[in-house]
Amino acid sequence: MSMEKNKQEQVNCSIFGRKKKQYKDKYLAKHNAVFDQLDLVTYEEVVKLPYPAFQRKTLVLLGAHGVGRRHIKNTIISKHPDKYAYPIPHTTRLPRSDEEDGRNYYFVSHDEMMADIAANEYLEYGTHEEAMYGTKLETIRKIHEEGRMAILDVEPQALKVLRTAEFAPYVVFIAAPVFQNVADLDGSLERLAKESDMLKQAYGHYFDLTIVNNDLDETIAQLEGAIERVHTTPQWVPVSWVY
């Protein structure tokens, strides 16, 4: 038995979003322009596979900026370091005195990072305070090789790369909480709610699960339960992941 889904969208590529300073290098601009032309499939057939014939390898957390994805990710990893890990980012900035290469970051030269970007070896990349940062695909593969599930809090356009049999993502949308009788003095709560709604409208057809983050502890408990079910029950996956 199979099901079909309609899928369309337009996105750009930046790990820091609109509020961060954009990198002006002509090679980055060229790479992004090419990347944006790679649309996700618009018509997709799926098939149900029994456990353990198929296993999800990557947990992808999507959500508005400030909705709490990083805290959720860090909490789950700290509770279950033998089961989950976050890929260590690469950066072109110099290491600080207390930093060791390969622990919190991999430190590389600008030329090396640009060459790897040109070779499509990065899932996401961007700039912050004149330095480049990015998530290299090999760091995700390393987590899988260790028998752990990679957890990513990425921008939606990363699905263009991740939605393959190799990364086998389980996509969870962390929706903005519902605020009632709460003073929104600077408008931040309204912005959070609007961005969350926009993401849901644009990418909702890619979500495997949606959790409204009204309470962090409850959200984490729901997510842990969902992942447990994913690892023990049959899964609907794109036919292209199987054949």
Give residue-wise pLDDT tens across range 198-239: 999 999 989 999 999 999 999 999 999 999 999 899 988 888
What does the alpha-carbon distance between residue 234 and residue 238 come to, in Å, rounded to a whole number?
13
CATH of domain 87-147: 3.30.63.10
Q: Where in the chain is the domain with CATH 3.40.50.300?
A: 46-83+148-242
Residue 137 pLDDT > 60: yes
CATH class of the domain comprising 46-83+148-242 = alpha beta
Total-model pTM: 0.80
CATH 3.30.63.10-classified regions of the chain = 87-147
pLDDT digits (tens, 9 = 90+) for 24-64: 343 343 344 444 444 555 567 888 888 777 889 999 999 99
